[in-house]
């Protein structure tokens, strides 16, 4: 009103500015967490009369993520969800979501053959409708193999890593009810399919997979190969990612596990005659133990440079459950889990109490405590914690180099890991568990735990931040915002958290994201369509409500500054997001909190002293956390400047990844500092790192501690002669250093 002026007062008044003639209040600085501020607004007229009003200003995080909505009612979209890696090579991580009850015959009747959907990474929050993905918009559909009705393609889905070595991440899909091999003698033997990464949105039909991938056929009738599928990482150290598939019903649910080596051809693998294509992991020969109910790559648990495996047997030992950690190996000999129990080739993890069903879900946890060894996560959804029945427990087992058995009762006491206690009776926390990647950007890998029965079946998922100590965690504390945050389900009986996984970095901001499946969600007036929720990584501990995520507000945290297949992109000193495609790109930072997602191709990423400073920091700027991701193929990280120190021992390993060459050339006297863990973590495709430069540049690998030893033979590649350094603690790891560089 005319003649009225406005002012503010109160304990929080210094946070705000107010426009005197309109009373509009704004914060002086950008707010970085959800909270409420109470202030008093004073209105005064020209006569000096005043009126006061107390106002509460609420700060809400509008940047949540997006939903992936299922197609038709009863199709159970979100039954299985996973990061797909970077399938199309554009630099953003993609997703795979299954609808195992999906599918129709040519006459339109329903046959439940199952479909899986690949959703390409994106930076906005707009809703993804799977009907659009079917038409090739924003991803592609993988149709079931079209065999018998009820094949249930997509019962289990996962990224396969880069199986064929083409620089694009591949997929693995389990079809547990398929008829593999000769139809007359392998009914319900099950199939698993590897789908190669590709850049277009054309549908893939598993019945005619051809050059799009290959099939893995079950060995024995009724064994249901494909019950659980996963990337195995690179188990044998040949540079190609391998696969792990299980046959849950083998020999009356004794269970059997198969490792299939990565390969470049599309020839079918017959598990009845696996031969040189991989090896068999045989259970302890006890029926109804369900060996392989859940399987996963374990990462590199013992630090030898080969990826390891974790295998569940959740009905073992009076349903206390067991997990087996199988160390990676280069031979093709079969493994008997009885040998693992005795400490040969790995170690066993014994459940805590009868009936806990430990290992119903198992996964790599990433490196939770920052010691350089990958850790493990084991869910026990039927366990009692804090005197509440079936709250569920989850156990984090720290990586280790010995083969001694681990007892989860010892972990619960804080030795060798830590326990995560469920919140309320009947929640079933630990039903699904996974590494979350580094969600909050602190350099430690985080965890995600699904409790699908929580809150009247709404379901909850809990993100637990990585930590170095062995103190127990109570999920009630996570709900309160201490040590992580909770993701609350949307509606009753949705069972959100039935499946949980890291999503990789879907929006390219440098923080890892999450995917949560709720296969019973009703929407668009249809029951059981299912929905999956992508929750973007964040640094605060405020609760996430999936109802907010499903609002689909279309908000963008940081727009892409440079994107495409142009040969060179040169940034400025501002904070910038690079998302390159398949080409051989040159990405130049020129300072700022830059995030480089180089995608497929032989890329070169050039950083200066200011970029380096940002990589050492864990601080977000303009919704970005500095990171370098070379993507597929052979990628080079190059320094621009002189007297620079690239100290990988002081940069979180997840902040520089998929780099195969480091170029110190710059303008003189640059130094690279690294240890064995840095060498093993910097590339997902090889344990060989090449370092080039010119006179005056040097590499500090602490030769005096005898960790690295120079080999007698040198290697010459592309006209450069390298001195080769190996490490006794990791037989597959090699550091190739340009002979013109100093080594200390």
Q: Which band of pLDDT confidence, cut at 50, 70 and 90, is reported for residue 500?
A: very high
Looking at per-residue pLDDT, the higher value among 180 and 529 belongs to 529
Q: Which band of pLDDT confidence, cut at 50, 70 and 90, is reported for residue 385?
A: very high
Q: Are residues 352 and 386 in the same domain?
A: yes
* Residue 55 forms part of a structural domain: yes
**Domain interval for residue 309:** 65-551
Determine the 3-state secondary structure of 426 from DSSP: coil
- pLDDT (tens digit, 9 = 90+) per residue, 621-630? 988 999 999 9
Q: What tokens does 513 get?
A: 């994201």
Report d(CA 645, CA 674) in Å as an integer: 11
Mean pLDDT (whole number) for 669-688: 92
pLDDT at 182 > cutoff 70: no
Q: Are residues 253 and 239 in the same domain?
A: yes
Q: Are residues 243 and 269 in the same domain?
A: yes
Q: Are residues 39 and 72 in the same domain?
A: no
Contact 312, 364 (CB under 8 A): no
Q: Are residues 25 and 71 in the same domain?
A: no
Determine the 3-state secondary structure of 181 from DSSP: coil
Q: Give residue 312's pLDDT.
A: 97
Q: Are residues 387 and 303 in the same domain?
A: yes
Report d(CA 465, CA 475) in Å as an integer: 12
Question: What's the CATH code of the domain at 215?
Answer: 2.130.10.130
Mean pLDDT (whole number) for 702-723: 86
pLDDT at 107 > cutoff 80: no
Report d(CA 74, CA 455) in Å as an integer: 22
pLDDT at 554 > cutoff 60: no
Mean pLDDT (whole number) for 487-497: 95
Contact 586, 562 (CB under 8 A): no
Q: Give residue 565's pLDDT.
A: 80
Q: Are residues 584 and 479 in the same domain?
A: no
What is each CA distance from 238 to 117, 382, 416, 599, 687, in whole angstroms? 30, 40, 31, 22, 10
* Residue 343 forms part of a structural domain: yes
Q: Which band of pLDDT confidence, cut at 50, 70 and 90, is reported for residue 91?
A: very high
Q: Which band of pLDDT confidence, cut at 50, 70 and 90, is reported for residue 186?
A: confident
Contact 4, 43 (CB under 8 A): yes
Q: What are phi and psi of 660, to 5 degrees?
A: -110, -15
Q: Are residues 77 and 36 in the same domain?
A: no
* Residue 421 forms part of a structural domain: yes
Mean pLDDT score of the chain: 92
Q: Are residues 722 and 628 in the same domain?
A: yes
- pLDDT (tens digit, 9 = 90+) per residue, 294-352? 999 999 999 999 999 999 999 999 999 999 999 999 999 999 999 999 999 999 999 99
Q: Give residue 231's pLDDT.
A: 98
Q: Give residue 623's pLDDT.
A: 87
* Residue 557 forms part of a structural domain: no
pLDDT at 526 > cutoff 80: no
Q: What tokens does 282 get?
A: 């045989």
Question: What's the CATH code of the domain at 25?
Answer: 2.60.40.60
* Residue 714 forms part of a structural domain: yes
pLDDT at 180 > cutoff 80: no
Report d(CA 168, CA 694) in Å as an integer: 33
Looking at per-residue pLDDT, the higher value among 550 and 467 belongs to 467
* Residue 556 forms part of a structural domain: no
- pLDDT (tens digit, 9 = 90+) per residue, 599-618? 999 999 999 999 999 999 99
pLDDT at 1 > cutoff 70: no
Q: Are residues 101 and 40 in the same domain?
A: no
**Based on the structure, what is the number of domains in the chain?**
3
pLDDT at 71 > cutoff 80: no
Strand 358-366 vs strand 393-397: parallel, antiparallel, or unpaired? unpaired
Report d(CA 378, CA 352) in Å as an integer: 11
- pLDDT (tens digit, 9 = 90+) per residue, 388-429? 999 999 999 999 999 999 999 999 999 999 999 999 999 999
Report d(CA 447, CA 449) in Å as an integer: 7
Listed residues 551, 571, 593: the one ending a domain: 551
Determine the 3-state secondary structure of 460 from DSSP: strand
DSSP labels, 229-289: EEEEE-SSSSSS-EEEEEETTHHHHT-EEEEE---SS-PPEEGGG-GGGEEEEE--S-TTS
Q: Give residue 63's pLDDT.
A: 61
| Lowest-confidence region among 22-31, 186-195, 377-386, 487-496 | 22-31
* Residue 321 forms part of a structural domain: yes
Question: Please, which residues bridge with residue 715 across strands?
Answer: 722
Q: Are residues 99 and 118 in the same domain?
A: yes
Q: Look at the block and give the residue holding tokens 């130049």.
A: 588
Listed residues 31, 59, 87: the one ending a domain: 59
Q: Are residues 505 and 579 in the same domain?
A: no
- pLDDT (tens digit, 9 = 90+) per residue, 213-259? 999 999 888 888 999 999 999 999 999 999 999 998 888 888 899 99
Beta-carbon count within 10 A of 719 CB: 5
Listed residues 551, 576, 599: the one ending a domain: 551
């Amino acid at each position: 009103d005319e003649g009225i002026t406005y002012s503010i007062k109160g304990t929080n008044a210094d946070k705000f500015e107010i426009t005197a003639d309109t009373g509009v209040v704004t914060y002086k600085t950008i707010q970085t967490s959800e909270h409420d501020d109470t202030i008093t607004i004073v209105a005064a007229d020209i006569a000096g009369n005043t009126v006061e009003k107390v106002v509460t200003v609420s700060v809400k995080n509008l940047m949540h993520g997006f939903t992936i909505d299922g197609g038709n009612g009863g199709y159970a979209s979100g039954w299985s969800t996973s990061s797909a890696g970077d399938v199309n090579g554009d630099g953003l991580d993609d997703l795979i979501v299954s609808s195992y009850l999906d599918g129709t015959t040519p006459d339109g009747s329903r046959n439940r053959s199952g479909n899986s959907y690949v959703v390409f990474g994106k930076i906005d929050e707009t809703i993804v409708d799977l009907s659009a993905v079917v038409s090739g918009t924003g991803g592609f559909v993988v149709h079931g193999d079209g065999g018998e009705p009820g094949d249930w393609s997509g019962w289990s889905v996962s990224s396969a890593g880069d199986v064929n070595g083409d620089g694009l991440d591949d997929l693995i899909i389990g079809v547990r009810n398929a008829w593999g091999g000769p139809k007359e003698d392998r009914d319900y033997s099950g199939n698993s399919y590897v789908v190669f990464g590709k850049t277009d949105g054309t549908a893939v039909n598993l019945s005619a997979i051809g050059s799009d991938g290959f099939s893995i056929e079950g060995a024995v009738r009724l064994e249901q190969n494909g019950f659980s599928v996963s990337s195995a990482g690179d188990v044998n150290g040949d540079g190609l990612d391998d696969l792990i598939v299980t046959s849950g019903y083998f020999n009356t649910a004794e269970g059997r596990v198969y490792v299939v080596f990565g390969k470049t051809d599309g020839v079918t693998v017959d598990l009845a005659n696996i031969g040189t294509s991989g090896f068999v992991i045989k259970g302890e020969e006890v029926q109804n133990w369900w060996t392989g109910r859940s399987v996963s790559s374990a990462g590199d648990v013992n630090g030898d440079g080969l990826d390891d495996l974790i295998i569940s047997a959740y009905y073992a030992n009076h349903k206390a459950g067991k997990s087996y950690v199988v160390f990676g190996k280069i031979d093709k000999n079969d493994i008997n889990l009885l040998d693992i129990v005795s400490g040969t080739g790995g170690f066993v993890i014994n459940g805590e109490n009868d009936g806990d069903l430990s290992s119903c879900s198992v996964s790599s946890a990433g490196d939770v405590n920052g010691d350089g060894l990958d850790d493990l996560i084991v869910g026990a959804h039927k366990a009692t914690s804090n005197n509440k029945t079936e709250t569920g427990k989850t156990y984090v087992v720290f990586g280790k180099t010995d083969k001694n058995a681990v007892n989860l009762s010892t972990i619960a006491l804080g030795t060798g890991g830590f326990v995560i206690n469920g919140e309320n009776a009947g929640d079933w926390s630990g039903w699904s568990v996974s590494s979350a990647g580094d969600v909050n950007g602190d350099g430690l890998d985080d965890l995600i735990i699904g409790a699908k029965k929580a809150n009247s079946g709404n379901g909850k998922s809990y993100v637990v931040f990585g930590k170095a100590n062995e103190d127990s965690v109570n999920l009630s504390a996570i709900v309160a915002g201490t040590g992580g945050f909770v993701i609350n389900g949307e509606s009753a009986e949705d069972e959100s958290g039935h499946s949980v996984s890291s999503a990789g970095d879907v929006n390219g901001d440098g923080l890892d994201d999450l995917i949560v499946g709720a296969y019973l969600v009703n929407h668009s007036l249809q029951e059981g369509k299912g929905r999956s929720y992508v929750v973007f990584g964040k640094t605060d501990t405020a609760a996430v409500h999936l109802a907010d995520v499903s609002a689909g507000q279309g908000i963008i945290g940081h727009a892409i500054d440079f994107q495409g297949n142009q040969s060179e992109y040169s940034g400025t000193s501002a904070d910038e997001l690079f998302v390159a495609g398949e080409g051989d790109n040159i990405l130049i930072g020129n300072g700022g909190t830059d995030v480089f997602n180089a995608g497929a191709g032989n890329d070169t990423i050039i950083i200066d002293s200011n970029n380096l400073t940002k990589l050492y920091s864990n601080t977000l700027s303009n919704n970005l956390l500095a990171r370098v991701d070379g993507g597929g193929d052979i990628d080079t990280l190059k320094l621009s400047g002189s007297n620079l120190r690239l100290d990988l021992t002081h940069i979180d390993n997840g902040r520089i990844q998929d780099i195969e060459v480091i170029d110190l050339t710059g303008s003189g006297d640059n130094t690279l500092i690294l240890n064995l863990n840095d060498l093993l973590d910097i590339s997902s495709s090889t344990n060989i790192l090449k370092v080039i430069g010119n006179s005056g540049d040097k590499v500090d690998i602490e030769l005096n501690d005898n960790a690295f030893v120079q080999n007698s033979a040198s290697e010459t590649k592309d006209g450069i002669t390298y001195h080769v350094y190996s490490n006794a603690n990791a037989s597959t790891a090699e550091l190739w250093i340009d002979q013109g560089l100093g080594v200390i």
